[in-house]
Amino acid sequence: MNKPMKYAFYFIALTGLILLYSCCKTADHKKYTIQKGDFQASLTETGSLQAVVAKTVVMPFLGRRYGSRQKITGLQEHGMEVDEGDSIIALDASNILRFLVERENRLELEKASYNKTLVQHS
């Protein structure tokens, strides 16, 4: 046998063996029964979720004396949906109330000074 015929013989023999093996292999066919009723399926997913729309909430800065260390007294549950204007956090109001009282006192002093200046000019 010459070399090209020898390779052709091997090719034909190999192709024949592959065909015989693939035709003789029995497939495992599972049988299922068809039932009438509601379809029920469960799906378990692992991982983390990311918000589609997320907004950052910024607290106004009242100055180092009043607002640098606010104490949180209440917080909305994680994952709750909130609308615009809803309270999501409760802070200790003592520092803020002190800030407002001092500002009101300063306003009253400025009003008194303004009235005194008006009286002096008239």
What's the pLDDT at 60? Answer: 67
What's the pLDDT at 28? Answer: 65
Query: How many C-alpha atoms does 18 have within 13 Å on its Cβ side?
Result: 6
pLDDT of 69 strictly over 70: no
- The answer to whether residues 59 and 70 touch, using CB atoms and an 8 Å cutoff, is yes
Tokens representing 65 are 């004396």
| Domain boundary assignment for the chain | 62-122
109/97 Cα distance (integer angstroms): 18
67/92 Cα distance (integer angstroms): 10
- The answer to whether residues 66 and 95 touch, using CB atoms and an 8 Å cutoff, is yes
What's the pLDDT at 115? Answer: 93
Alpha helices in 1-122 (DSSP H): 3-24, 64-67, 94-121
Give the 3-state secondary structure of residue 64.
helix
Share of the chain above pLDDT 90, in %: 14
Q: Note the pLDDT tens digit of each residue in 9-67.
A: 888 888 888 877 776 556 666 777 888 888 888 888 898 888 787 777 777 666 666 65
- The answer to whether residues 96 and 62 touch, using CB atoms and an 8 Å cutoff, is yes
